[in-house]
Amino acid sequence: MLYTLGHIAAQDRKIDGYWSGELTQNEGGFVPNYIFEVYIQSDGNDISGEAIVSTPDSLSAKMLFKGKFHQGGFLKLKEYEIKEATTLMDQEWCLKTLSLFLKKKDDEYFLIGFWTGVSRSSVCIPGKIKLRRRAQRV
């Protein structure tokens, strides 16, 4: 599947809103695939919002993040607080740093990239992210 950034002008790069898709974790992680949702608010190039990560068996965590939208369609987001979470006894959620590129395919926008993270006790096994811009979820 080919994605092109092309020239995304300032008025066309509106990133505010609801994005959803998949977060993967490399081999050795708690589970390989997570549901990942992001609610983004921007003020110029400053970004803030919340991210929700969920496992297929309904464990989830809501994190707050801040970041920047950089030239060339690059976003760097850093989660700084776990607002709420459900866990198992031996599980810890990762506060993630996301390195994402805004891509456009046909009339759809995507955020695609990588993440790294840390938990309370260790460095997290990293992975990839692919999000699609969606209509606001109610």
Report yes or no on 14 lying in a domain: no
Q: How many domains does the chain have?
A: 1
Report yes or no on 136 lying in a domain: no
Domain of 109, CATH number, reads 2.40.128.120
pTM for this model (two decimals): 0.85
Report yes or no on 5 lying in a domain: no
Report yes or no on 104 lying in a domain: yes
Report yes or no on 59 lying in a domain: yes
CA distance 127 to 111: 14
CA dist list (Å): 53 to 80, 96, 107, 110 = 14, 11, 26, 17
Q: How far is CA 64 from the centre of its chain?
A: 11
**Residue 76, domain extent:** 19-131
Query: For residue range 53-84, what is the model confidence (pLDDT) as tens digits?
Result: 999 888 999 999 999 999 999 999 999 999 99
